[in-house]
Amino acid sequence: MIEDMEALHTSEAGRRDLHALVDHIPAGDLPAARKILRALADPVWQSTLTAPLDDEPETEQERAEVERPCPRP
C-alpha cells in the first residue's frame, strides 16, 4: 500500500513538472510538442506517424472509388 502511495505521489509530481514544461514551450514549437505528446499518449497515433508511405501504384479500382461521391446522410 505504501508503495502505491509513493507511485501515485511520483506520478502526480511528474505530471505537474510536465505541465510546467508545457507552459514554457514557445508558441512556434507547440505543433511539434503536440505531435510528440500525442504520439506518447496514443499508440495508434504513433503508429500512424511512423507508418511507411504507401508507394504502391494506385489501381484503376482505387482511383474510381476515390472519385465516386459519398452518399449524403
| Other beta carbons within 10 Å of 38 | 13
pLDDT tens over the chain, length 73 residues: 445 555 655 788 888 998 999 999 999 999 999 988 888 888 887 788 788 888 889 999 999 999 988 888 7
- What are the backbone angles phi and psi of residue 41, rounded to the nearest 5°? -85, -25
pTM of the entire structure? 0.47
> Backbone dihedral region of 38: left (phi > 0), alpha (psi from -120 to 50 degrees) or beta?
alpha
Instruction: State how far the Cα of 48 lies from the Cα of 70, in Å rounded to an integer.
Output: 24
